[in-house]
């Protein structure tokens, strides 16, 4: 792959990570150290020049360089996936009682068992054969298909088998037969040795590409959720325990050195593949069949080392920041709902606005983030309502969900009402939150933050002796747009208008149509909505709408009746006549319009301040 031309305006830049992988490929391709595996004839047929690298990110992008689409056999890289499958198929208790998790300090094909006469761990051949045996116990003749399907889910496609390699390994696998019989004499294997080894040899002969390995590794790094297909392939428990044994035993007697120098859980196969999975970051797959004396791909090891050192990606060298998650924290005084309030409601809300606290969160709700939020809540007097806006929350860890639930319970115990905004009912996040908080009576949810704020405002008004009534008014003097007009001017205006009636849900104004009149609401309620669905305002009797007709030729928003409503409609034509008759009134109305717009600008600027505060 070459960089696109620098001249064309459309020529896009190349992501630096792709450029880095290109450079690794160019540099390490010249390294001809090591030799292709020859312990079985079929493996020795691999082309030693082949070299492919692929890196999959956890948002599902896959970088590929070189021979990333050449198939080769998975070999020992199958071990972690079959261990994870065994955990999920037979349960952790059964698997963990059969196979240990301590490093053995021995090479991969050691026949030594631990002091319980069980395999040391699932990464040595003895442990891997025991895993295949467990799957065979559970699935019988379907064991291999069960494994092949599971590995296919990790890769995101159906994987084939190299029959020649399978036949060759089966014909020459006496050391593995010795290990299997030793396991059977110690009751670790319960089924026939031949049947179990048939599964094991077939699983080692599954065909993958560097790209497949990258996606499979990324699925390990992503808690079992394949980032390309979006499928949850295994439980997070099985995945984290698999990464644990890869970390402590994946590189056999080189494990301590590997953690120390590279710090990325990894597994290699004698077919020439190396898989590396950095949790919450990336999956790497490489293919180059020349192996070093430990049986690891020479170029693959160099790619892992370069990636770790160039980007300082050691798994124990991570940084985060708890404060990332709160993007805004305010009382509703700083960001009221878009509902126009009558004077007595405004008074109550002005006095008690500190009783509704809004916390807007962003990103991942993790242990650290939620703990930080809970301390922010504990640091100020407790309000009666807390609204958590989760619109921009992209995921929720189990630790985060647990702390959220515990925080809600804490607030419930103090009679604080919790309102969740921004979570769609039935979504994954909603289900998790409901799973943890289902029995709590103090939790409400609204999808729109504005609706949540409006609901909390209504509750505040009720609690402090107010009422939310849809009163009627025929008094034009109550209209802020007409403030300061004389009785005569108001009377003349009343005469040139027409009273209209609307049913609940009826569209009164359509965005994009000519703006030819102004409406003064007399009863009911309407809402003003942008064509993209964003609600700008809710209005009740005594308020005007369509007033921008005074300065704009076209309607920019839709207006719908919320409930049955009535309004006085004054056409611009008639308004023009009034203007000539009462020039002072006309100037006054324009002044009032400017005042309304100035008030809205203050609200908008407050909102910007809230959103851009550090």
DSSP 120: S
- Distance of alpha carbon 481 from alpha carbon 543, whole angstroms: 8
- Distance of alpha carbon 127 from alpha carbon 501, whole angstroms: 79
Residues 6+ apart with CB under 8 A from 467: 461
Query: Under a CB-based contact definition with an 8 Å cutoff, are residues 122 and 104 in contact?
Result: no
Q: Which of 290, 213, 297 is nearest to 46 (CA)?
A: 290
- Distance of alpha carbon 369 from alpha carbon 397, whole angstroms: 10
Q: Which of 544, 538, 559 is nearest to 592 (CA)?
A: 544
Residue 541, CA atoms < 13 Å, CB-side half-sphere: 17
594 binds a second copy (CB under 8 A): yes
430 binds a second copy (CB under 8 A): no
Identify which of residues 196 and 216 has a Cβ nearer to a second copy in the complex: 216
Find the part of the chain contacting a second copy (CB under 8 A) among 13-21, 170-178, 291-299, 508-516: 13-21
Identify which of residues 27 and 503 has a Cβ nearer to a second copy in the complex: 27
Identify which of residues 46 and 313 has a Cβ nearer to a second copy in the complex: 313
366 binds a second copy (CB under 8 A): yes
With CB under 8 A as the contact rule, the residue among 107, 256, 512, 553 that binds a second copy is: 256
The two tokens of residue 49 are 């020049």
Find the part of the chain contacting a second copy (CB under 8 A) among 33-41, 206-214, 386-394, 503-511: 386-394
User: Left (φ > 0), alpha (ψ -120 to 50) or beta: where does 281 sit?
Assistant: alpha
Q: Identify residues 31-50 at the interface with a second copy (CB under 8 A).
A: none
255 binds a second copy (CB under 8 A): yes
Identify which of residues 220 and 274 has a Cβ nearer to a second copy in the complex: 220
With CB under 8 A as the contact rule, the residue among 188, 228, 276, 327 that binds a second copy is: 327
With CB under 8 A as the contact rule, the residue among 324, 331, 334, 516 that binds a second copy is: 324
321 binds a second copy (CB under 8 A): yes
**Own/partner long-range contacts of 105-108 (Cβ < 8 Å, ≥24 apart):** 105/253, 106/252, 106/253, 107/252, 107/253, 108/76, 108/252, 108/295
Residue with tokens 């390990």: 220
94 binds a second copy (CB under 8 A): no
With CB under 8 A as the contact rule, the residue among 93, 441, 487, 598 that binds a second copy is: 598
Q: Identify residues 208-227 at the interface with a second copy (CB under 8 A).
A: 222-223
E strand residue ranges, 160-253:
207-208
With CB under 8 A as the contact rule, the residue among 143, 188, 245, 358 that binds a second copy is: 245
Query: Under a CB-based contact definition with an 8 Å cutoff, are residues 488 and 578 in contact?
Result: no
With CB under 8 A as the contact rule, the residue among 2, 9, 230, 441 that binds a second copy is: 9
- Distance of alpha carbon 191 from alpha carbon 596, whole angstroms: 82
Start-end of H helices in 414-548: 428-437, 449-463, 487-496
Q: Identify residues 176-195 at the interface with a second copy (CB under 8 A).
A: none
- Distance of alpha carbon 322 from alpha carbon 365, whole angstroms: 9
How far, CA to CA in Å, does 101 sit from each of 123, 259, 361, 439?
A: 9, 16, 39, 39
Identify which of residues 19 and 434 has a Cβ nearer to a second copy in the complex: 19
Site string for a second copy, 394-413 (x = CB under 8 A): xx-xxx--xx--xx-xxx-x
Residue 553: CB minimum distance to a second copy, A: 12
Residue 424: CB minimum distance to a second copy, A: 12
With CB under 8 A as the contact rule, the residue among 38, 116, 149, 552 that binds a second copy is: 552
- Distance of alpha carbon 214 from alpha carbon 281, whole angstroms: 12
Residue 590: CB minimum distance to a second copy, A: 3
Residue 428, CA atoms < 13 Å, CB-side half-sphere: 9
With CB under 8 A as the contact rule, the residue among 11, 178, 483, 554 that binds a second copy is: 11
Find the part of the chain contacting a second copy (CB under 8 A) among 4-12, 81-89, 133-141, 502-510: 4-12
Q: Identify residues 553-582 at the interface with a second copy (CB under 8 A).
A: 579
With CB under 8 A as the contact rule, the residue among 368, 442, 479, 523 that binds a second copy is: 368
Identify which of residues 99 and 565 has a Cβ nearer to a second copy in the complex: 99
Find the part of the chain contacting a second copy (CB under 8 A) among 35-43, 211-219, 374-382, 497-505: 374-382
CA 437 to centroid of chain Cα atoms = 21
With CB under 8 A as the contact rule, the residue among 69, 323, 503, 507 that binds a second copy is: 323
- Distance of alpha carbon 455 from alpha carbon 332, whole angstroms: 12
382 binds a second copy (CB under 8 A): yes
Residues 6+ apart with CB under 8 A from 288: 28, 50, 51, 52, 272, 297, 298, 299, 300
Identify which of residues 188 and 205 has a Cβ nearer to a second copy in the complex: 188
93 binds a second copy (CB under 8 A): no
Identify which of residues 312 and 469 has a Cβ nearer to a second copy in the complex: 312
310 binds a second copy (CB under 8 A): yes
Identify which of residues 171 and 602 has a Cβ nearer to a second copy in the complex: 602
With CB under 8 A as the contact rule, the residue among 2, 174, 293, 317 that binds a second copy is: 317
End-to-end CA distance of the chain: 42
Q: Identify residues 116-155 at the interface with a second copy (CB under 8 A).
A: 121
The footprint of a second copy on this chain (CB under 8 A) covers a number of residues equal to 125
- Distance of alpha carbon 260 from alpha carbon 585, whole angstroms: 81
Reported as type and span, the H/E element at residue 370 is: helix 367-378
Find the part of the chain contacting a second copy (CB under 8 A) among 58-66, 162-170, 440-448, 479-487: 58-66
Site string for a second copy, 259-298 (x = CB under 8 A): xx--x-x-------------xxxx----------------
Identify which of residues 63 and 201 has a Cβ nearer to a second copy in the complex: 63
61 binds a second copy (CB under 8 A): yes
Residue 8: CB minimum distance to a second copy, A: 9
Identify which of residues 156 and 250 has a Cβ nearer to a second copy in the complex: 250
Q: Which of 484, 458, 480 is nearest to 469 (CA)?
A: 458
Strand partners for 35: 291
């Amino acid at each position: 792959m070459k960089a696109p031309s620098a001249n064309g305006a459309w020529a896009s830049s190349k992501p630096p990570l792709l450029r880095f992988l290109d450079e690794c490929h160019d540099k390490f391709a010249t390294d001809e150290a090591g030799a292709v595996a020859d312990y079985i004839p079929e493996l020795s047929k691999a082309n030693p020049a082949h070299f492919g690298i692929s890196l999959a990110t956890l948002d599902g992008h896959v970088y590929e360089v070189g021979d990333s689409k050449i198939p080769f056999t998975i070999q020992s890289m199958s071990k972690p996936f079959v261990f994870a499958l065994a955990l999920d198929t037979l349960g952790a208790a059964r698997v963990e009682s059969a196979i240990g998790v301590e490093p053995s300090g021995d090479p991969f094909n050691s026949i030594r068992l631990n002091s319980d006469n069980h395999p040391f761990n699932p990464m040595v051949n003895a442990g891997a054969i025991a895993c295949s045996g467990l799957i065979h116990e559970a699935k019988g003749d379907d064991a291999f298909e069960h494994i092949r399907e599971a590995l296919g889910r990790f890769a995101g496609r159906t994987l084939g088998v190299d029959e020649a390699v399978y036949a060759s390994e089966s014909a020459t696998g006496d050391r593995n037969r010795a290990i299997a019989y030793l396991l059977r004499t110690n009751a670790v294997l319960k089924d026939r040795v031949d049947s179990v080894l048939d599964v094991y040899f077939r699983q080692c002969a599954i065909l993958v590409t560097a790209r497949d390995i990258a996606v499979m590794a990324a699925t390990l790094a992503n808690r079992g959720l394949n980032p390309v297909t979006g499928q949850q392939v295994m439980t997070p428990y099985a995945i984290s325990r698999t990464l644990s044994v890869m970390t402590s035993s994946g590189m056999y007697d080189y494990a301590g050195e590997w953690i120390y120098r590279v710090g990325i859980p990894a597994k290699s196969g004698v077919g020439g593949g190396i898989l590396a999975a950095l949790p919450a970051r990336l999956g790497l797959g490489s293919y180059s069949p020349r192996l070093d004396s430990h049986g690891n791909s020479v170029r693959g090891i160099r790619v892992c080392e370069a990636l770790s050192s160039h980007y300082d990606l050691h798994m124990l060298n991570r940084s985060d920041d708890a404060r990332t998650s709160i993007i805004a924290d305010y009382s509703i005084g700083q960001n009221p709902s878009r509902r126009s309030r009558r004077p007595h409601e405004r008074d109550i809300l002005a006095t008690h606005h500190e009783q509704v606290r809004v916390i807007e969160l962003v990103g991942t709700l993790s242990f650290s983030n939620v703990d930080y939020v809970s301390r922010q809540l504990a640091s100020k007097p407790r309000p009666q309502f807390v609204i958590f806006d989760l619109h921009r929350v992209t995921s929720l860890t189990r630790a985060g969900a647990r702390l959220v639930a515990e925080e809600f319970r804490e607030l419930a115990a103090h009679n604080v009402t919790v309102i969740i905004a921004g979570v769609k009912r039935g979504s994954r996040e909603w289900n998790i939150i409901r799973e943890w908080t289902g029995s709590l009576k103090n939790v409400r949810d609204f999808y729109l933050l504005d609706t949540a704020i409006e609901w909390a405002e209504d509750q505040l008004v009720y609690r402090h002796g107010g009422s939310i009534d849809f009163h009627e008014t025929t008094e034009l003097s109550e209209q802020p747009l007409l403030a300061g007009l004389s009785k005569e001017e108001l009377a003349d205006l009343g005469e040139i208008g027409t009273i209209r009636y609307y049913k609940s849900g009826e569209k009164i104004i359509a965005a994009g149509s000519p703006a030819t009149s102004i409406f003064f609401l007399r009863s009911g309620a309407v809402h003003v909505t942008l064509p993209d669905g964003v609600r700008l305002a809710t209005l009740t009797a005594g308020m005007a709408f369509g007033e921008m007709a005074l300065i704009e030729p076209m309607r920019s928003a839709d207006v719908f009746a919320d409930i049955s409503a009535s309004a006085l409609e004054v056409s611009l034509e008639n308004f023009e006549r009034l203007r000539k008759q009462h020039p002072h009134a006309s100037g006054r109305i324009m002044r009032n319009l400017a005042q309304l717009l100035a008030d809205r600008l203050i609200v908008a600027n407050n909102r910007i301040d809230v959103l851009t505060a550090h």
